[in-house]
Amino acid sequence: MDKIVDLINEKSDNKFPFLKTLSISYNKKTLICVISFLFPQTLNEISSNQKQIIYDILNNSLKLNAKLILKFRKSFLDEDLIHSKIMEFFKKNYSSLFSVVESEDVSITIQGQFVDVLLKISSNYLNSFDKNNLLMELNEFLLKNFWAQFSFHFSEGRVLNIEEIEKQVFNEKEKKIGDIRFVPRYKVFDVSKIIGQEISPEPEFLQNINQPKTSVILAGKIENLNEFKYIRQKKGQDVEKTYFKFVLREKTGAKINCIYFCSKSNYDKFKKLVDGDEIVVVADISKDYKSLIGKVKSISLCQLPEKLSFNKVENVRQFACIKPEKIVTTSQKNLFTKDIKYDDNITKNTFVVFDVETTGLEVENSEIIEIGAVKIINGVLAEKFQTLVKPKQKINYLITDITGITNQMVENSPPIEHVIKDFYMFTKNCILSGYNVGFDMKFISKSGEEVGLIFDNEVQDVMALVRQKVRVGNYKLSTVVKALNIQLTDAHRAYNDAYATAKVLLKLSEINS
């Protein structure tokens, strides 16, 4: 995404160094490309003239076969928002750390564009992590969401019994072996969008939500709907804002308190809702003192079913459409000679190193078109999983230019709802790994959830390992494999990228004889 801002500054004599690309989305059905930018709160709003300059540069340079829409968002430094992003980072990237860090263990101080983060974590637990790498990853994550300069400090937190924590984690893993975890869902009918995005897939059961979670789909009846006002400063002036509170009650009787911060443009739409309306929403679930609260982002009217029943996915017991293959190479005999030893991370775990190719960058409106994966057993590249995937919508020519994957190539390929079940079986009881694997995990997790499967594997990012051990001009996979003398052919094809990444992982895990 940084290339977008680089292009703008290159064509404008560096007039917009303060911009960051926040997101890029492309709707293949409407042929609309939306690029959102972030700029610091210390600046005034982006002027109409500046917006026009940026639009002209991108429209002329990208030559998209689509309508281009630009959005600009000021980076407001709010303690609660930064706090929630830090907890989100721990949950996604350091799940074991997330399990012991409580809300009060994170303190944030804001002075202008400088943000100081104090983390209270017991040293006997923190010592099991690479602190420098953790803070580097956290800083990169926050910089993608805020325009600020972050500094981080640790202080001694609660004393933790490491053996007890490890035993607890081990027991949880043992309990899950052989099990299929699913997200029970149910159907709603006559869905009509009111605010935000089109809502799919089906809603989860509210009675099963017992902890914070992002972008949850829920449905129920509105109760106790009330409107509130609050004052917020904007450009040094007090501005009156509106928010609504209501209870969302599911047909099971379960309920959750919801809040919706309403913009002026959505006020009239929301005011049409009344107690008793049946709605489906997308909400971020957070913990407010002892209870959960849903911060609503999108709302649609719907008709709830008369009775609720679990929509379980059938048990996945064997490979249905994509069967793994043994990896046989003539070079493998020379690669894994007796004098090559690997660290415990490799020898004591089984890895699936994978990569996906997709129709776009945003998981909400893009699809997987290829999955490629390599299984590493005892330091040996043992099995491969490779398939093209037929998307529901046509592949844009821009994606074909990048990946070489055409609509004709995927025409007779299986759909993702079949492929993802086989991939789930292939990855069972393995550590999932990849290069900048967070991007790929978003697509795999979403595809899994849509058929009721949860990929709760441990995840390790090879790019993070590379940043620790390799010094190169940039950290693109193509640059890294060249520096390590590893061959990468046909980059941007999933299996080839996964195979090269697996070799990188092994190379950096070698123990010198």
- Distance between start and end Cα atoms, the chain: 41
For residues 379-404, average pLDDT: 88
- For residues 355 and 399, membership in a common domain is answered with yes
Q: What residue numbers bound the domain in which 70 lies?
A: 2-75
Whether 309 maps to a domain, the answer reads no
Instruction: Identify which of 163, 208, 417 has the alpha carbon closest to the alpha carbon of residue 308.
Output: 208
What is the helix, strand, coil percentage profile of the chain, to 5? Answer: 30, 30, 35
- For residues 472 and 498, membership in a common domain is answered with yes
| Overall number of domains in the chain | 4
Whether 315 maps to a domain, the answer reads no
- For residues 487 and 465, membership in a common domain is answered with yes
Structure-token pair, residue 420: 């993802």
Of 309 and 303, the structure prediction assigns the larger pLDDT to: 303
The share of the chain scoring above pLDDT 90, in percent, equals 32
Helix axes 416-427, 437-450, angle to 10 degrees: 110
For residues 299-313, average pLDDT: 76
Instruction: Identify which of 90, 94, 204 has the alpha carbon closest to the alpha carbon of residue 460.
Output: 94
- For residues 83 and 133, membership in a common domain is answered with yes
Q: How confident is the model at residue 513 (pLDDT cuts 50, 70, 90)?
A: very low
Whether 166 maps to a domain, the answer reads yes
Give residue for tokens 């919801």.
258
Of 129 and 368, the structure prediction assigns the larger pLDDT to: 368
| Residues 472/332, Cβ–Cβ less than 8 Å | no
- For residues 368 and 390, membership in a common domain is answered with yes
106-111 and 67-75: which strand pairing?
Answer: unpaired
3-class DSSP state of 334: helix
Digit-coded pLDDT (tens) for 56-83: 999 888 877 788 889 887 777 778 778 8
For residues 209-216, average pLDDT: 83
Taking CA atoms, 395 is separated from 35, 362, 367, 403, 410, in Å, by 19, 14, 9, 11, 9
pLDDT above 50: residue 341:
yes
| Residues 37/73, Cβ–Cβ less than 8 Å | yes
- For residues 344 and 484, membership in a common domain is answered with yes
Specify the pLDDT at position 220: 95
3-class DSSP state of 211: coil
pTM: 0.46
Structure-token pair, residue 272: 């049409």
Q: Which of 19-28, 135-144, 461-470 has the lowest mean pLDDT?
A: 19-28
Taking CA atoms, 501 is separated from 110, 146, 407, in Å, by 39, 30, 27
Specify the pLDDT at position 131: 78
Q: Which domain-ending residue is among 57, 75, 93? A: 75
Q: What are phi and psi of 200, to 5 degrees?
A: -155, 155
Structure-token pair, residue 11: 């064509």
- For residues 244 and 348, membership in a common domain is answered with no
CATH code for position 50? 3.30.300
Residues making up the chain, counted from first to last: 513
H helices of 367-454, in order, are: 397-403, 407-410, 416-427, 437-450
Digit-coded pLDDT (tens) for 403-445: 888 999 999 899 999 999 999 999 998 999 999 898 899 999 9
Backbone angle region of 340, left / alpha / beta, with phi > 0 → left and psi within -120 to 50 → alpha:
beta
Q: How confident is the model at residue 38 (pLDDT cuts 50, 70, 90)?
A: confident
Whether 438 maps to a domain, the answer reads yes
Whether 374 maps to a domain, the answer reads yes
Give the span between the Cα atoms of 112 and 151, in whole angstroms: 13
Digit-coded pLDDT (tens) for 275-294: 999 999 999 998 776 688 99
Instruction: Return the DSSP state at 390.
Output: -
3-class DSSP state of 461: strand
Query: Which stretches does DSSP call E strand in 334-474?
Result: 341-342, 351-358, 368-377, 380-388, 431-434, 459-461
pLDDT above 60: residue 230:
yes
Whether 115 maps to a domain, the answer reads yes
CA contacts within 13 A on the Cβ side of 473: 4
- For residues 357 and 333, membership in a common domain is answered with yes
Q: Which of 12-21, 114-123, 227-236 has the lowest mean pLDDT?
A: 227-236
Specify the pLDDT at position 155: 86
Q: What are phi and psi of 214, to 5 degrees?
A: -100, 150
Q: Which domain-ending residue is among 154, 176, 198? A: 176
Query: Which stretches does DSSP call E strand in 418-491?
Result: 431-434, 459-461
CATH code for position 249? 2.40.50.140
- For residues 344 and 490, membership in a common domain is answered with yes
Structure-token pair, residue 438: 């967070």
CA dihedral 164, 177, 345, 500 (to 10 degrees): -150
Neighbours of 375 (CB within 10 A): 22
Complete DSSP assignment for 212-266: -EEEEEEEEEEEEEEEEEEEEEETTEEEEEEEEEEEEE-TTS-EEEEEEEEPHHH
Q: Which domain-ending residue is among 176, 204, 222? A: 176
Complete DSSP assignment for 41-81: TTS-PPPHHHHHHHHHHHHHHH--SSEEEEEEEEE---HHH
- For residues 382 and 485, membership in a common domain is answered with yes
- For residues 442 and 337, membership in a common domain is answered with yes
pLDDT above 50: residue 1:
no
Helix axes 462-469, 131-143, angle to 10 degrees: 120
pLDDT above 70: residue 201:
no
Whether 316 maps to a domain, the answer reads no
Annotated active-site positions, please? 492
pLDDT above 70: residue 397:
yes
Whether 181 maps to a domain, the answer reads no
Instruction: Identify which of 264, 216, 223 has the alpha carbon closest to the alpha carbon of residue 243.
Output: 264
Amino acid of residue 63: K
149-155 and 189-195: which strand pairing?
Answer: unpaired
Specify the pLDDT at position 338: 52
pLDDT above 90: residue 95:
no
- For residues 373 and 500, membership in a common domain is answered with yes
